[in-house]
């Protein structure tokens, strides 16, 4: 399968999954964003798809869990430290692992996540650095802790804020 075909399939799966969730919760979801590695058109690796759902309030997020679990989703309690205050649900669709991150509209993290995703899409140097890091992780050349730390450093560089904020 070519990279272009892979990316078309990812886009179709993203749209289908986003609409499925929107159909359940259209009254509380404000925004939907495709984020993470699968958003990057030139990433030649099979990777999980991450979808960010911005909801009106955190109370809305907590109310979603039981409904999604009943529909076959699994709640992930230790996705990453960065998302420890958010709800992450997972489902495998046609062999594709899809992580749905539900975040309150009041969260300060939303803008950081979207900015870092756009930097990776638009900046060839950042993209190349991230792709090399992802490849090293997938080939077990770096541990998960090393991957997280190097990804943290890369995202800090993108944000231009030094070491005083948290990583995506």
Secondary structure, 3-state, 66-92 = HHHHHCCCEEECCCCHHHCCCEEEEEE
CATH of the domain at 30: 3.30.460.10
Any domain includes 105 = yes
Highest mean pLDDT among 53-62, 67-76, 80-89, 159-168: 67-76
pLDDT at 101 (0 to 100) = 92
Any domain includes 166 = no
Are 59 and 20 within 8 A, CB to CB?
Answer: no
As a whole number of angstroms, the distance between CA 68 and CA 116 comes to 28
Model's pTM, two decimal places?
A: 0.82
Any domain includes 164 = no
Any domain includes 41 = yes
Of 67, 70, 37, the residue nearest 51 (C-alpha): 37
Average pLDDT over residues 98-111: 90
The mean of the pLDDT values for the chain is 84
Any domain includes 15 = yes
Any domain includes 167 = no
| Structure-model confidence comparison of residues 41 and 3, the more confident one | 41
Task: Report how many domains make up the chain.
Answer: 1
| Structure-model confidence comparison of residues 152 and 162, the more confident one | 152
pLDDT at 8 (0 to 100) = 54
pLDDT interval class at 33 (50, 70, 90): very high
Any domain includes 155 = yes
pLDDT at 163 (0 to 100) = 44
Any domain includes 165 = no
Domain that holds residue 110: 3-159
């Amino acid at each position: 399968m070519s990279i272009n075909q892979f990316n078309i399939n990812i886009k179709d799966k993203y749209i289908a999954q986003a609409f499925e969730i929107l159909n359940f919760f259209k009254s509380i979801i404000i925004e939907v964003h495709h984020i993470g590695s699968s958003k990057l058109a030139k990433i030649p690796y099979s990777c999980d798809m991450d979808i960010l759902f911005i909801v009106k309030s955190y109370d809305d997020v907590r109310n979603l869990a039981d409904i999604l679990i009943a529909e076959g989703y699994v709640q992930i309690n230790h996705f990453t430290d960065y998302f420890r205050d958010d709800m992450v649900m997972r489902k495998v669709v046609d062999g594709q692992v899809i992580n749905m991150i539900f975040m309150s509209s009041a969260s300060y993290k939303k803008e950081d996540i979207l900015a870092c995703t756009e930097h990776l899409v638009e900046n060839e140097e950042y993209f190349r650095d991230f792709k090399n890091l992802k490849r090293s992780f997938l080939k077990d050349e770096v541990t998960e802790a090393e991957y997280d730390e190097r990804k943290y450093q890369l995202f800090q560089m993108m944000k231009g804020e030094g070491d005083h904020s948290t990583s995506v």
